[in-house]
Amino acid sequence: MNTLDNYDFSGKKVIVRVDFNVPLNDKYEITDDTRIRAAIPTIQKIREKGGAVILMSHLGRPKNGPEEKFSLKHIVKDLSEKLGVDVQFADDCIGEQAHNIAARLKPGEVLLLENLRFHPEETKGDEAFAKKLAGLADVYVNDAFGTAHRAHASTAVIARFFPKDKMFGYVMENELKSINKVLVENEKPFTAVLGGAKVSGKIEIINNLLDKVDNLIIGGGMMFTFIKAMGGDVGNSLVEEDLIETAKAAIKKAEELEVNLHIPSDTVAADKFDNDAGTLICKAGDIPDGWMGLDIGPESIKTFSDVIRNSATILWNGPMGVFEMDNFAKGTVEIAKAIADATAKGAFSLVGGGDSVAAVNKYHLADKVSYVSTGGGAMLEFIEGKTLPGVAAIEE
């Protein structure tokens, strides 16, 4: 398999799918450059090895062709500074101008193409469009993990035109290595911590993880569907009635597979969905009428933290409570700290999926876990056990 390290890029034109989908403010200034920074090592590696780099990305969700606020030209200056080279720009990702600049590109030079999604063919996975992009280069590198679960022209279809000259960039490689370390080559005990609002969004993850983990910890709003399935009283807590049978089936499957399923024993209940609500700590299956559980309680924090601190592999997705409200953030904070402690003792920990990533960043623990995934939706589909088109296109 080709890699950035073993491939000879000298004299080659290399088209790289990056994820430059960064937030811009009203003045078109970048407010968070994490994704651009993440792509730098891949770009520099190709340049150092004598390749010329053609970068392509999407930005936002343009509906009808070009739109100023979604133009990638707004990031040229920042990108040039980060790379230490004047990045050239093509106003359209295909067509004569892009073709001409690409043709003249010398080793070490960099061209950024305008937003791929100004063409509806991109998200449709149009083959003719992918072929035009492919025509600009000799080699294809995919480094956009965030869109790896999409079968778009630039993320998957284009790979067909480079049967022998395609590979992952470092961002993709690192994401795949980390998820592999967790799902395939995990050291035991392996603990998955799942939270978030609803069972419905996580049921495929639960099912895929049950035959891999030793411990499955369930917190967040989704815990109450499980507690109700076990006969508990959950008051006004978030419950998905139509998933009670599904929760029962998961509980049974966990028993059969001898997985320790940890459902919270206590909760912080509130008399309304508000940070200033009246609160009480009670048994999670004994919530008074009119009250709702918005966080896991102190006893659960202790039990869960002990399990986590004794784990060798940890996967975390989803907050333990309504962590956006400070009075219901303790469960999430303490679980994040326990994961950081376990990591300090040598465990491998992966945090993936929108809100848990936001939580580790908020509590400044991102550098105290082994890996924070950059791809929300892509990571979730991976944990669900699905094959990602962007990954398959390179591996095929």
**For residues 196 and 389, which CB has a smaller minimum distance to ligand AMP in the complex?**
196
198 counts as catalytic: yes
CA–CA gap between residue 104 and residue 27 (Å, rounded): 32
- The smaller minimum CB distance to ligand AMP, of residues 140 and 224, is found at 224
Q: Which residue is nearest to ligand AMP (CB)?
A: 196
If one asks whether residue 248 binds ligand AMP (CB under 6 A), the answer comes out as no
For the CB of residue 64, give the shortest distance to ligand AMP in the complex, in Å.
30
Based on the shown chain and the rule CB under 6 A, indicate whether residue 355 belongs to the binding site for ligand AMP: yes
CB of 336 to ligand AMP, least distance (A): 14
The only residue of 125, 319, 375, 389 in contact with ligand AMP, by rule CB under 6 A: 319
State which of residues 285, 321, 389, 390 lies at the interface with ligand AMP (CB under 6 A): 321
* Segments in the chain forming alpha helices (H): 34-48, 76-83, 96-104, 121-124, 127-134, 170-183, 203-210, 223-229, 244-256, 298-309, 330-344, 354-362, 376-383, 389-395
150 has catalytic annotation: no
Three-state DSSP at 280 gives: strand
Contact call for residues 39 and 18 (beta carbons, < 8 A): yes
CA distance 142 to 219: 35
| Annotated catalytic residue 201 | no
> What's the rounded Cα separation, in Å, for the pair 220 and 217?
10
Closest CA to 269 of 332, 331, 328, 335: 328
Nearer residue to ligand AMP within complex by CB, 154 or 267: 267
β-pairing, 215-218 with 166-168? unpaired
Does 133 engage in binding with ligand AMP (CB under 6 A)? no
Instruction: Based on the residue annotation, tell me whether 35 is a catalytic residue of this protein.
Output: yes
- Interface mask (CB under 6 A) for ligand AMP, residues 164-203, using x and -? --------------------------------xxx--x--
Binding-site ranges for ligand AMP (CB under 6 A)? 196-198, 201, 220-221, 238, 293-294, 318-319, 321-322, 324, 354-355
